Amino acid sequence: MNRRFFKYRPVRTASQLSFVREVIVEGKLYLARPLHFSDPLDAVTSHFTDGDVPAVLSLTEHGDSRLLWAYYGGWFRGVMIELELSLTTAPFDGLQKVSYIADDADLFERIANRDLFAKAHEFAHEGEWRLPYIGGESHLSLPLNSVKSVTLGPALLPDFREAITQMCASANVGVQEYRPKLVGSGDRAR
């Protein structure tokens, strides 16, 4: 079963541009360590020994979220990368939706039990899916043609916009400009 996922990335520096290049051109997705998660509760790594702290791929099911653009897309100075992945093919068969827990006692117990799929209910709008990976790698390779499109943020600087557009052209990936959905307007054009 194939499913669409999205990865928001800021692009305000050459280093951040190289992360985007890794996905679009090289077909590699970065695996983060829990210590680098944006939610401090996710960074509770004291429950892992040194050798078993997994790296984690984080994706979202939301392809048009102003909050995700703000948090992870560099306040609209970045990109949103659309991916199509098979949930029946390794390693992506391990992707699971995060559970958003309202009860703090339950949340802390799950974190203490090394549950990387538990997160505070305040983050439910993220629609996050995770893939924990133990093996020492810093990246996962994407199957061919997994990158379906790249959406450019409206505040992306012109030099980065041009570089990403060229990357997409060389990788035969569609590129588009961000267009917010207008609440209550149906499908009317602006």
The DSSP result for 3-58, as a single string, is EEEEEEEE-SSHHHHHHHHHHHTT-EEE-B-GGG-SSGGGG--TTS-GGG--EEEE
Q: How far apart, in whole angstroms, are the C-alpha atoms of residue 107 and residue 99?
A: 10
Is residue 45 within 8 Å of residue 111, measured between CB atoms? no
- The one-character DSSP state at 138 is S
**Greater model confidence, 83 or 183:** 83
Mean pLDDT of 24-43: 77
Predicted pLDDT of residue 188:
44
Q: Summarize pLDDT for 73-117 with one digit per residue, the tens.
A: 999 999 999 999 999 999 999 999 999 999 999 998 888 887 889
Tell me the Ramachandran region of residue 163: left when phi exceeds 0, alpha when psi lies from -120 to 50, beta otherwise: alpha
Q: Which two tokens stand for residue 37?
A: 């998660």
Which residues pair with residue 175 across a beta bridge? 150
Predicted pLDDT of residue 112:
80
% of residues, the chain, pLDDT over 70: 85
**Greater model confidence, 1 or 38:** 1
Residue 5 has pLDDT above 70, yes or no: yes
Residue 53 has pLDDT above 50, yes or no: yes
Residue 87's CB: how many other CB atoms inside 10 A? Answer: 14
Mean pLDDT of 33-56: 63
Mean pLDDT of 16-43: 83
Is residue 44 within 8 Å of residue 127, measured between CB atoms? no
Dihedral through CA 129, CA 64, CA 103, CA 131, nearest 10?
10
pTM of the predicted protein model:
0.88
Pairing assessment for the beta strands 147-152 and 174-177 based on DSSP bridges: parallel
Q: How far apart, in whole angstroms, are the C-alpha atoms of residue 147 and residue 64?
A: 17
C-alpha distances (whole Å) from 65 to each of 60, 70, 94, 98, 176 are: 10, 9, 25, 17, 16
Predicted pLDDT of residue 40:
58
Residue 190 has pLDDT above 50, yes or no: no
- The one-character DSSP state at 83 is E
Is residue 12 within 8 Å of residue 67, measured between CB atoms? no
Mean pLDDT of 38-43: 60
Query: pLDDT averaged over the chain?
Result: 88
Predicted pLDDT of residue 189:
43
Q: Which two tokens stand for residue 176?
A: 């588009």
Q: Summarize pLDDT for 116-155 with one digit per residue, the tens.
A: 899 899 999 999 999 988 777 789 999 999 999 999 999 9
Predicted pLDDT of residue 70:
95
